[in-house]
Amino acid sequence: MVLFTTCYGNRNEPDINLDLVKIFEHNGIPVKIVSQEKCCGMPKLELGDLETVARHKDTNIPALKQAIDEGYDIVAPVPSCVLMFKQELPLMFPEDDAVQEVKVRIFDPFEYLMLRHKEGLLRTDFVEELGKVSYHVPCHLRVQNIGLKTRDVLKLVPETEIDVIERCSGHNGTYAVKKEFRPASVKIGRPVMNRVEKANPDHYTSDCPMAGHQIETGLKEPMAPEHPLKLLRKAYGI
């Protein structure tokens, strides 16, 4: 069973939440949404507001710990949120046993799906090919050292080619939304934007919704990003 937490970063992307639920239910994985939550705290951590990080932790961790005690694993669609619970909070609160327990029971959704595939439990009854996909790997996913699980899942879809881009989009949390840093953020992300344009893909995608839209702002021809969960749901035809 999986307890699903939206966390920060995709509140303006509600379809991503629905895509995750539909995919997991298609694979026979019972899902429920966490009953009580606040932002994971990553934006406040980046700003040095450690008091707010602690307050959010005190709300989130008891709810997640209760779910774990009920037999659930935890999945969140945004890499920054998973990283916060998997690495940052455990480093900040090493003596908090509940924080440490959540650390080992929270997963990136594609990490979780590949674990299912390893056990022969992932459905591969895909009905739609994806063609050529430019896939940007977010920094907060790479630092988790779980490998390219999103790529590996999407490669299971027949007639699908994945062009992996392992470079910062320039969004960098709250950095790209600040007026004074916006030009620099676009300059940092330009190689990624150029790579997508050169590939001329059928789809381009990033696990981080913010990175996806950062790339979108730098493309000469309008083309919206599609989250990997949306692409996988499309491949399943559900």
Predicted confidence band of residue 231 (pLDDT cuts 50, 70, 90)? very high
Task: Give the whole-number percent of the chain exceeding pLDDT 70.
Answer: 94
DSSP run (H or E) holding 75: strand 73-75
| Integer Cα distance of 208 and 198 in angstroms | 21
Task: Quote the DSSP letter at residue 203.
Answer: E
Give the pLDDT confidence score for residue 13 in this predicted structure: 58
pLDDT band at 177 (very low <50, low <70, confident <90, very high): confident
Q: Who wins on pLDDT, 35 or 111?
A: 111
Domain 126-236 listed as CATH 3.40.50: yes
What's the pLDDT tens digit per position in 50-73? Answer: 999 999 999 999 999 999 999 999
pLDDT in the model for residue 153: 98
Residue spans of the domains in the chain: they are 2-107, 126-236
Query: Which of the four pLDDT bands, split at 50, 70 and 90, describes residue 174?
Result: confident
Q: Which whole number is the average pLDDT over 92-109?
A: 97
Query: Distance between CA atoms of 136 and 207, rounded to whole angstroms?
Result: 8
Does residue 5 have a pLDDT over 90?
A: no
The confidence score (pLDDT) of residue 14 equals 59
Residue 208 in tokens: 């981080």
pLDDT of residue 162: 98
pTM above 0.85, yes or no: yes
* Mean pLDDT for the stretch of residues 232-237: 98
Q: Kindly indicate the confidence band of residue 214, based on its pLDDT and cuts at 50, 70 and 90.
A: very high
The phi-psi region of residue 41 (left if phi > 0; otherwise alpha if psi is between -120 and 50; otherwise beta) is left
Please tell me what DSSP assigns to residue 146: -
pLDDT at position 37: 81
Across 214-232, average pLDDT: 95
* pLDDT for 45 beyond 50: yes
Q: How confident is the model over 131-156, as a mean pLDDT?
A: 96
pLDDT tier for residue 36 given thresholds of 50, 70 and 90: confident
pLDDT at position 9 = 46
CB 54 within 8 A of CB 38: no
